[in-house]
Chains A and B, each alone.
Chain A
Amino acid sequence: DAGITQSPRHKVTETGTPVTLRCHQTENHRYMYWYRQDPGHGLRLIHYSYGVKDTDKGEVSDGYSVSRSKTEDFLLTLESATSSQTSVYFCAISETPNGLDSPLHFGNGTRLTVT
């Protein structure tokens, strides 16, 4: 199994509060991703990183920011949580940097509820 740890696994927060989710990998892989999964929408990319301090937006990036100060850690921040951000958040890493046939491997997810 790919060494990916997400924390926390579950979180309940109130509307308007900032929230940070952490993804930690032990594989030393270059690419890391944050997806959210909602019923009827499947997995949608929020942000991704292709190296330390190198990040880019995905298809649903509004309301989210990311940071990557070390290869092993990729943080996702909800600046001011809204109920529409209630979701399951998955972090993923790419098995082989720049390998087009490399699948993504996913962490166990964080279930976030915004009340």
Chain B
Amino acid sequence: GQSLEQPSEVTAVEGAIVQINCTYQTSGFNGLFWYQQHAGEAPTFLSYNVLDGLEEKGRFSSFLSRSKGYSYLLLKELQMKDSASYLCAVRGRAAGNKLTFGGGTRVLVKP
């Protein structure tokens, strides 16, 4: 099976950089995903990593180390609209393209 751990909450100020960590255990690995979820809304896809290293998408970057079972999401130049929960999820090798999610990290951006 799969399990993922994330910190429950992170607070940062506008314009700063915040890093959200995710550690995972999985039997078989077919990629790690990051989602953003604003309160009362659906999760929306942010990024995907399957190989080790950093993937950059504008202000957001995601890093993966498969040997350490570790990923992080880096949010740069924080804006108030970045206040949301960030969910990491892993895809194992079981049938169905299923994703197993961590509990999510709530990011609070202060002015």
Contacts and interface: CB of A to CB of B under 8 A. Distances in A.
A94 B95 contact: no
Contacts of A102: 97
Interface string A94-112: 1000111111111111000
8 A-B pairs with the lowest CB-CB distances in the bound complex, closest first: A103-B45, A106-B42, A43-B101, A42-B103, A42-B101, A100-B30, A94-B97, A106-B43
Given A105-B45, A106-B43, A107-B42, A45 B98 contact: yes
A104 B42 CA distance: 11
A33 B87 CA distance: 17
Given A90-B42, A108-B42, A109-B42, A101 B103 contact: no
Interface of A: 31, 33, 35, 40-45, 48, 50, 56, 58-59, 90, 94, 98-109
20 contacts: A33-B98, A42-B103, A42-B104, A43-B43, A43-B87, A43-B89, A45-B98, A45-B100, A48-B98, A50-B96, A59-B100, A90-B42, A94-B97, A98-B97, A100-B91, A102-B97, A103-B48, A104-B33, A106-B42, A106-B44
A56 B97 contact: no
B84 interface: no
A59 B3 CA distance: 12
Given A106-B42, A107-B42, A108-B41, A56 B95 contact: yes
Given A102-B97, A109-B42, 6 more contacts: A43-B87, A43-B89, A59-B100, A94-B97, A103-B48, A106-B43
